[in-house]
Amino acid sequence: MSSKPEITKVAFPVFGIAWHTHINGTSILAHCGGGGSARSGIGNSIVITHYTPDSQAYMRLTIDTMDQICVGVAIGASFLGHNVDRNQFDPDVVVIAAVGNEIRLYSAFTGRLLSKEHTLEAEKAGVNCVAMSADGTMVLCGCESGRVLSYKLQGLPQPDPNGEEKKGEDGDGDGEGPNTQEEKEEEVYAVTELIKLAEMVSHEKAVCCVCFRPGEVASCISSAKDGSCREWDARTGKMLAVMQCSAGPPPAQRGGRKIPHQILVRGCAYSPGGDFVYTCASGRRGKAFLGKWKRMKPDPAKKMPAFLPVENCCVAECPVSAMSMSGDGTMAAL
Protein backbone atom coordinates (compact mmCIF):
# COMPACT_ATOMS: atom_id res chain seq x y z
CA MET A 1 0.00 0.00 0.00
CA SER A 2 1.25 3.45 -0.86
CA SER A 3 0.91 6.15 1.78
CA LYS A 4 0.42 8.77 -0.91
CA PRO A 5 -2.01 7.85 -3.68
CA GLU A 6 -1.05 8.68 -7.24
CA ILE A 7 -3.74 10.17 -9.44
CA THR A 8 -3.37 9.95 -13.20
CA LYS A 9 -5.18 12.66 -15.11
CA VAL A 10 -6.66 11.78 -18.48
CA ALA A 11 -7.91 14.06 -21.24
CA PHE A 12 -11.38 12.55 -21.54
CA PRO A 13 -14.34 11.54 -19.35
CA VAL A 14 -13.85 7.97 -18.04
CA PHE A 15 -16.81 5.58 -18.35
CA GLY A 16 -15.18 2.28 -17.45
CA ILE A 17 -12.13 0.97 -15.62
CA ALA A 18 -10.69 -2.49 -14.92
CA TRP A 19 -7.67 -3.81 -13.05
CA HIS A 20 -5.89 -7.14 -13.57
CA THR A 21 -2.91 -8.75 -11.83
CA HIS A 22 -0.78 -10.82 -14.21
CA ILE A 23 0.84 -14.10 -13.18
CA ASN A 24 4.30 -12.49 -13.47
CA GLY A 25 3.46 -9.98 -10.73
CA THR A 26 2.80 -6.98 -12.96
CA SER A 27 -0.55 -5.20 -13.08
CA ILE A 28 -2.63 -4.04 -16.03
CA LEU A 29 -5.07 -1.14 -15.83
CA ALA A 30 -7.55 -0.37 -18.60
CA HIS A 31 -9.83 2.63 -18.75
CA CYS A 32 -12.10 3.90 -21.50
CA GLY A 33 -14.25 6.87 -22.41
CA GLY A 34 -14.39 9.99 -24.52
CA GLY A 35 -17.34 11.67 -26.13
CA GLY A 36 -15.82 15.05 -26.78
CA SER A 37 -16.31 17.04 -29.94
CA ALA A 38 -13.86 17.08 -32.82
CA ARG A 39 -13.06 20.75 -32.14
CA SER A 40 -12.00 20.03 -28.58
CA GLY A 41 -9.59 17.36 -29.72
CA ILE A 42 -11.09 14.84 -27.30
CA GLY A 43 -11.48 11.49 -28.99
CA ASN A 44 -12.89 8.13 -27.95
CA SER A 45 -10.32 5.64 -26.78
CA ILE A 46 -9.27 2.73 -24.59
CA VAL A 47 -6.02 3.17 -22.64
CA ILE A 48 -4.14 0.12 -21.36
CA THR A 49 -1.34 0.78 -18.86
CA HIS A 50 1.12 -1.83 -17.54
CA TYR A 51 2.66 -1.42 -14.08
CA THR A 52 5.62 -3.08 -12.39
CA PRO A 53 5.09 -4.74 -8.97
CA ASP A 54 6.14 -1.46 -7.31
CA SER A 55 3.40 0.44 -9.23
CA GLN A 56 5.65 2.10 -11.81
CA ALA A 57 4.06 2.46 -15.24
CA TYR A 58 6.31 1.01 -17.94
CA MET A 59 4.07 0.57 -20.98
CA ARG A 60 0.97 2.34 -22.23
CA LEU A 61 -1.22 1.53 -25.23
CA THR A 62 -3.98 3.71 -26.65
CA ILE A 63 -6.69 2.23 -28.86
CA ASP A 64 -8.67 4.74 -30.90
CA THR A 65 -12.33 3.66 -31.11
CA MET A 66 -13.06 6.40 -33.65
CA ASP A 67 -16.66 7.65 -33.51
CA GLN A 68 -17.79 4.91 -31.10
CA ILE A 69 -17.55 5.46 -27.33
CA CYS A 70 -16.35 2.56 -25.19
CA VAL A 71 -18.46 2.62 -22.02
CA GLY A 72 -17.24 -0.53 -20.27
CA VAL A 73 -14.11 -2.68 -20.02
CA ALA A 74 -13.05 -5.89 -18.33
CA ILE A 75 -9.76 -7.80 -18.28
CA GLY A 76 -9.33 -11.56 -18.23
CA ALA A 77 -6.83 -14.32 -18.95
CA SER A 78 -7.88 -16.68 -21.72
CA PHE A 79 -6.59 -19.19 -24.27
CA LEU A 80 -9.22 -17.68 -26.61
CA GLY A 81 -10.91 -20.98 -27.34
CA HIS A 82 -7.78 -22.71 -28.64
CA ASN A 83 -6.72 -26.17 -27.49
CA VAL A 84 -3.22 -25.79 -26.06
CA ASP A 85 -1.06 -27.50 -23.49
CA ARG A 86 -1.79 -25.48 -20.36
CA ASN A 87 1.44 -26.72 -18.79
CA GLN A 88 3.56 -25.21 -21.56
CA PHE A 89 1.71 -22.01 -22.44
CA ASP A 90 0.37 -19.08 -20.44
CA PRO A 91 -3.05 -17.65 -21.34
CA ASP A 92 -3.32 -14.36 -23.19
CA VAL A 93 -4.46 -11.29 -21.26
CA VAL A 94 -7.50 -9.87 -23.01
CA VAL A 95 -9.29 -6.55 -22.69
CA ILE A 96 -13.02 -6.98 -23.31
CA ALA A 97 -14.66 -3.74 -24.41
CA ALA A 98 -18.26 -2.56 -24.76
CA VAL A 99 -18.19 -0.31 -27.83
CA GLY A 100 -21.51 0.88 -29.22
CA ASN A 101 -23.56 -2.25 -29.89
CA GLU A 102 -20.48 -4.46 -30.14
CA ILE A 103 -18.24 -6.60 -27.97
CA ARG A 104 -14.55 -6.32 -28.84
CA LEU A 105 -11.59 -8.32 -27.60
CA TYR A 106 -8.14 -6.71 -27.67
CA SER A 107 -4.71 -7.97 -26.69
CA ALA A 108 -3.58 -6.25 -23.49
CA PHE A 109 0.03 -6.43 -24.71
CA THR A 110 -0.26 -5.24 -28.32
CA GLY A 111 -3.66 -3.54 -28.51
CA ARG A 112 -4.56 -5.62 -31.56
CA LEU A 113 -8.14 -6.67 -32.19
CA LEU A 114 -8.40 -10.39 -31.42
CA SER A 115 -12.01 -10.94 -32.40
CA LYS A 116 -14.14 -9.69 -35.24
CA GLU A 117 -16.49 -6.93 -34.17
CA HIS A 118 -19.57 -8.72 -33.00
CA THR A 119 -22.89 -6.95 -33.56
CA LEU A 120 -25.73 -7.98 -31.29
CA GLU A 121 -28.60 -9.76 -32.95
CA ALA A 122 -32.23 -8.71 -33.39
CA GLU A 123 -31.96 -5.09 -32.31
CA LYS A 124 -29.21 -2.53 -32.03
CA ALA A 125 -29.07 -2.51 -28.27
CA GLY A 126 -26.03 -0.74 -26.88
CA VAL A 127 -23.67 -2.78 -24.68
CA ASN A 128 -23.21 -1.21 -21.24
CA CYS A 129 -20.99 -3.70 -19.40
CA VAL A 130 -18.90 -6.81 -19.99
CA ALA A 131 -17.22 -9.61 -18.01
CA MET A 132 -15.11 -12.71 -18.62
CA SER A 133 -15.36 -15.99 -16.72
CA ALA A 134 -12.49 -17.00 -14.45
CA ASP A 135 -11.39 -19.79 -16.80
CA GLY A 136 -11.46 -17.47 -19.82
CA THR A 137 -13.94 -19.54 -21.82
CA MET A 138 -17.02 -17.29 -21.68
CA VAL A 139 -17.93 -13.62 -22.07
CA LEU A 140 -20.96 -11.88 -20.59
CA CYS A 141 -22.51 -8.56 -21.60
CA GLY A 142 -25.35 -6.41 -20.29
CA CYS A 143 -27.33 -4.25 -22.70
CA GLU A 144 -29.25 -0.99 -22.67
CA SER A 145 -32.35 -2.97 -23.69
CA GLY A 146 -32.27 -4.95 -20.41
CA ARG A 147 -30.92 -8.12 -22.02
CA VAL A 148 -27.98 -10.11 -20.70
CA LEU A 149 -26.11 -12.21 -23.28
CA SER A 150 -23.54 -14.96 -22.81
CA TYR A 151 -21.00 -16.16 -25.37
CA LYS A 152 -18.34 -18.83 -25.53
CA LEU A 153 -14.95 -18.22 -27.10
CA GLN A 154 -14.11 -20.43 -30.05
CA GLY A 155 -10.67 -20.37 -31.60
CA LEU A 156 -10.31 -19.67 -35.32
CA PRO A 157 -7.83 -21.39 -37.66
CA GLN A 158 -4.68 -19.32 -37.95
CA PRO A 159 -2.68 -18.62 -41.12
CA ASP A 160 0.47 -20.57 -41.89
CA PRO A 161 3.34 -19.17 -39.76
CA ASN A 162 5.46 -19.10 -42.94
CA GLY A 163 3.03 -16.61 -44.44
CA GLU A 164 1.94 -18.85 -47.29
CA GLU A 165 -1.41 -18.03 -48.80
CA LYS A 166 -4.17 -20.58 -48.26
CA LYS A 167 -5.35 -22.31 -51.39
CA GLY A 168 -8.70 -23.64 -52.41
CA GLU A 169 -9.56 -27.23 -53.11
CA ASP A 170 -8.36 -26.88 -56.71
CA GLY A 171 -5.02 -25.46 -55.54
CA ASP A 172 -5.29 -22.23 -57.53
CA GLY A 173 -5.81 -19.87 -54.63
CA ASP A 174 -9.43 -19.14 -55.55
CA GLY A 175 -10.94 -21.10 -52.65
CA GLU A 176 -11.45 -20.11 -49.05
CA GLY A 177 -8.15 -18.30 -48.60
CA PRO A 178 -7.95 -14.49 -48.34
CA ASN A 179 -7.18 -12.67 -51.59
CA THR A 180 -6.92 -9.02 -50.56
CA GLN A 181 -4.49 -7.44 -48.12
CA GLU A 182 -7.41 -6.34 -45.96
CA GLU A 183 -8.72 -9.90 -45.73
CA LYS A 184 -5.26 -11.19 -44.83
CA GLU A 185 -4.88 -8.65 -42.00
CA GLU A 186 -8.35 -9.40 -40.69
CA GLU A 187 -7.57 -13.10 -40.55
CA VAL A 188 -4.29 -12.51 -38.72
CA TYR A 189 -5.97 -10.44 -36.01
CA ALA A 190 -9.15 -12.52 -35.72
CA VAL A 191 -7.92 -15.41 -33.57
CA THR A 192 -11.22 -16.13 -31.84
CA GLU A 193 -14.94 -15.60 -32.31
CA LEU A 194 -17.89 -15.22 -29.97
CA ILE A 195 -20.54 -17.94 -30.18
CA LYS A 196 -23.82 -16.98 -28.54
CA LEU A 197 -24.92 -19.34 -25.77
CA ALA A 198 -27.92 -17.76 -24.08
CA GLU A 199 -30.08 -14.66 -23.89
CA MET A 200 -31.30 -13.72 -20.43
CA VAL A 201 -34.44 -11.59 -20.56
CA SER A 202 -36.11 -10.36 -17.38
CA HIS A 203 -34.75 -6.91 -16.53
CA GLU A 204 -37.20 -4.13 -17.37
CA LYS A 205 -34.55 -1.42 -17.74
CA ALA A 206 -30.93 -1.03 -18.79
CA VAL A 207 -28.35 -3.40 -17.31
CA CYS A 208 -25.54 -1.63 -15.43
CA CYS A 209 -23.23 -4.42 -14.26
CA VAL A 210 -22.55 -8.12 -14.91
CA CYS A 211 -20.13 -10.60 -13.35
CA PHE A 212 -19.44 -14.32 -13.14
CA ARG A 213 -19.41 -16.32 -9.91
CA PRO A 214 -15.77 -16.94 -8.88
CA GLY A 215 -14.54 -20.43 -9.64
CA GLU A 216 -17.69 -21.35 -11.56
CA VAL A 217 -18.58 -20.82 -15.20
CA ALA A 218 -22.33 -21.42 -15.05
CA SER A 219 -23.56 -18.83 -12.53
CA CYS A 220 -23.56 -15.08 -13.08
CA ILE A 221 -25.35 -12.00 -11.77
CA SER A 222 -26.58 -8.77 -13.33
CA SER A 223 -27.88 -5.51 -11.88
CA ALA A 224 -30.03 -2.94 -13.62
CA LYS A 225 -31.91 0.33 -13.43
CA ASP A 226 -35.11 -1.58 -12.57
CA GLY A 227 -33.96 -1.87 -8.94
CA SER A 228 -33.02 -5.54 -9.06
CA CYS A 229 -30.04 -7.86 -9.11
CA ARG A 230 -30.62 -11.25 -10.73
CA GLU A 231 -28.70 -14.52 -10.78
CA TRP A 232 -28.65 -16.65 -13.93
CA ASP A 233 -27.34 -19.84 -15.44
CA ALA A 234 -25.11 -18.35 -18.12
CA ARG A 235 -25.16 -21.53 -20.22
CA THR A 236 -28.94 -21.92 -20.46
CA GLY A 237 -30.27 -18.41 -19.69
CA LYS A 238 -32.44 -19.67 -16.83
CA MET A 239 -33.06 -17.14 -14.05
CA LEU A 240 -32.07 -18.55 -10.65
CA ALA A 241 -32.82 -15.73 -8.20
CA VAL A 242 -34.05 -12.14 -7.86
CA MET A 243 -32.80 -9.64 -5.29
CA GLN A 244 -35.00 -6.54 -5.07
CA CYS A 245 -32.81 -3.75 -3.75
CA SER A 246 -33.73 -0.74 -1.63
CA ALA A 247 -32.21 2.72 -1.38
CA GLY A 248 -33.81 4.34 1.62
CA PRO A 249 -37.20 6.10 1.83
CA PRO A 250 -38.82 7.42 -1.36
CA PRO A 251 -38.43 11.14 -2.17
CA ALA A 252 -40.92 13.60 -0.72
CA GLN A 253 -43.92 14.60 -2.80
CA ARG A 254 -43.80 17.93 -4.58
CA GLY A 255 -46.90 20.02 -4.95
CA GLY A 256 -49.15 17.07 -4.19
CA ARG A 257 -47.63 15.12 -7.08
CA LYS A 258 -46.20 11.70 -6.27
CA ILE A 259 -42.69 11.24 -7.57
CA PRO A 260 -41.87 7.67 -8.64
CA HIS A 261 -38.95 6.23 -6.70
CA GLN A 262 -36.71 4.64 -9.32
CA ILE A 263 -33.87 2.60 -7.85
CA LEU A 264 -30.74 2.16 -9.92
CA VAL A 265 -28.53 -0.81 -9.04
CA ARG A 266 -25.27 0.34 -10.60
CA GLY A 267 -23.01 -2.37 -9.21
CA CYS A 268 -23.04 -6.01 -8.18
CA ALA A 269 -20.38 -8.51 -7.13
CA TYR A 270 -19.94 -11.96 -5.63
CA SER A 271 -17.89 -12.69 -2.54
CA PRO A 272 -14.81 -14.84 -3.31
CA GLY A 273 -16.66 -18.05 -2.43
CA GLY A 274 -19.92 -17.00 -4.04
CA ASP A 275 -21.88 -17.36 -0.78
CA PHE A 276 -22.71 -13.65 -0.66
CA VAL A 277 -23.74 -11.06 -3.23
CA TYR A 278 -23.10 -7.33 -2.82
CA THR A 279 -25.18 -4.65 -4.53
CA CYS A 280 -24.86 -0.88 -4.77
CA ALA A 281 -28.19 0.91 -5.19
CA SER A 282 -29.34 4.52 -5.22
CA GLY A 283 -32.12 6.69 -6.52
CA ARG A 284 -31.58 9.23 -9.26
CA ARG A 285 -30.80 11.60 -6.42
CA GLY A 286 -29.96 11.03 -2.81
CA LYS A 287 -27.92 8.48 -0.90
CA ALA A 288 -26.31 5.27 -2.12
CA PHE A 289 -26.68 1.99 -0.22
CA LEU A 290 -24.42 -1.06 -0.17
CA GLY A 291 -26.42 -4.25 0.28
CA LYS A 292 -25.21 -7.68 1.39
CA TRP A 293 -27.19 -10.80 0.45
CA LYS A 294 -26.65 -14.31 1.82
CA ARG A 295 -27.14 -17.38 -0.32
CA MET A 296 -29.61 -19.79 1.30
CA LYS A 297 -29.65 -23.57 1.10
CA PRO A 298 -31.76 -24.91 -1.78
CA ASP A 299 -35.42 -25.19 -0.78
CA PRO A 300 -37.20 -28.02 -2.65
CA ALA A 301 -40.57 -26.44 -1.84
CA LYS A 302 -39.32 -23.08 -3.16
CA LYS A 303 -40.94 -21.23 -0.26
CA MET A 304 -37.71 -19.48 0.68
CA PRO A 305 -35.88 -17.04 -1.60
CA ALA A 306 -32.46 -18.02 -2.90
CA PHE A 307 -30.89 -14.95 -1.24
CA LEU A 308 -31.82 -13.07 1.93
CA PRO A 309 -30.69 -9.50 2.74
CA VAL A 310 -28.45 -9.40 5.80
CA GLU A 311 -27.25 -5.80 5.67
CA ASN A 312 -28.02 -2.56 3.84
CA CYS A 313 -25.99 0.48 4.84
CA CYS A 314 -25.62 4.00 3.48
CA VAL A 315 -22.19 4.45 1.93
CA ALA A 316 -22.49 7.82 0.18
CA GLU A 317 -24.61 10.96 0.36
CA CYS A 318 -24.91 11.01 -3.43
CA PRO A 319 -25.63 8.36 -6.09
CA VAL A 320 -22.80 5.94 -6.92
CA SER A 321 -22.14 5.19 -10.58
CA ALA A 322 -19.96 2.07 -10.28
CA MET A 323 -18.71 -0.57 -7.85
CA SER A 324 -15.78 -2.97 -7.77
CA MET A 325 -14.97 -5.70 -5.24
CA SER A 326 -11.41 -6.60 -4.23
CA GLY A 327 -10.20 -10.10 -5.05
CA ASP A 328 -10.21 -11.22 -1.40
CA GLY A 329 -13.68 -9.79 -0.81
CA THR A 330 -12.61 -7.54 2.06
CA MET A 331 -13.06 -4.18 0.33
CA ALA A 332 -15.50 -2.55 -2.08
CA ALA A 333 -14.56 0.45 -4.19
CA LEU A 334 -17.45 2.79 -5.06
Q: Please state, in angstroms and rounded to a whole number, the distance separating the CA atoms of residues 297 and 92.
A: 37
pLDDT tens-digit series, residues 144-185: 999 999 999 888 776 655 555 444 334 444 444 444 444 443
Whether 103 and 185 have beta carbons less than 8 Å apart is answered as no
Mean pLDDT confidence for 58-65:
89
pLDDT tens-digit series, residues 281-317: 998 888 899 999 999 988 777 777 899 999 999 888 8
The Cα diameter of the chain in Å comes to: 80
Nearest Cα residue to 292 out of 271, 316, 273: 271
Predicted pLDDT at 299: 77
The burial of 9, by beta-carbon neighbours within 10 Å (0-12 exposed, 13-18 middle, 19 or more buried), is given as exposed
188 — pLDDT class (breaks 50, 70, 90): very low
55 — pLDDT class (breaks 50, 70, 90): confident
Strands 207-212 and 332-333 come out as: unpaired
